[in-house]
Amino acid sequence: MFQRDRLPDPLTYYQSQGLHLQGRGRWRTAGCPFHGSSDSLRVNVETGAFVCMAACGARGGDVIAFEMAMQGCSFVAAAKALGCWVDHPSDAAGKERRRPLPFPPREALEVLAEDAMLITLCGLHAHHGDELTDDDRAAWLEAHGRVQFIISEVLK
């Protein structure tokens, strides 16, 4: 049977998956292994939730969902790989929940807030009379696109 309390620590798990987590706090940024971007994946190091802010659509609510997506495997196989599956006589009954957590809307709002902050900082930068560089402008447009994506895809 699945034992959620045996799931690995998300930070340790994602690092073991080769993700280079950048930033501080609950949400970290990493390259998306699903479509090969350099910085579009957001990972919650407390809950294990992840979401790609580009259009590839990868997202899930825990490290089990990530393992399943990366390996293309079943829930049980992912749980076994992560050491949180314990054989139990009642497994045949199949009563326990065998699904990964979906990416929760609440987490989507948190990610939105972080990207909104980036947009705000760019805006303040411009407001102070500094010319937006092409890089700033590109980052601003990209962040704006991500917010639109989350609203249209994740929160629908």
Q: Which chain residues interact with Zn ion by CB under 5 A?
A: 32, 34-35, 52, 54, 56, 58
Which lies closer to Zn ion via its Cβ, residue 41 or residue 122?
41
Minimum Å gap between C-beta 146 and Zn ion is 11
> Which neighbouring-strand residues pair with 22?
29
Q: In sequence order, which ranges of 17-71 are alpha helices (DSSP H)? A: 63-71
Q: Give the CA-trace dihedral at 66, 67, 72, 78, to 10 degrees.
A: -140
The CB-of-57 to Zn ion minimum distance in angstroms stands at 7
Pick between residue 90 and residue 152 the one whose CB is nearest to Zn ion: 152
Q: Is the dihedral of CA 145, 41, 34, 57 positive or negative?
A: negative
Complex with Zn ion: residue 59 or 122, whichever CB lies closer: 59
The sign of the dihedral angle between the CA atoms of 126, 130, 131, 135 is: negative
In which region does residue 87 sit, left (phi positive, over 0), alpha (psi from -120 to 50) or beta (all else)? beta
Q: How far is the CB of 148 from Zn ion (least distance, A)?
A: 16
Based on CB atoms, which residue is closest to Zn ion, 50 or 140? 50
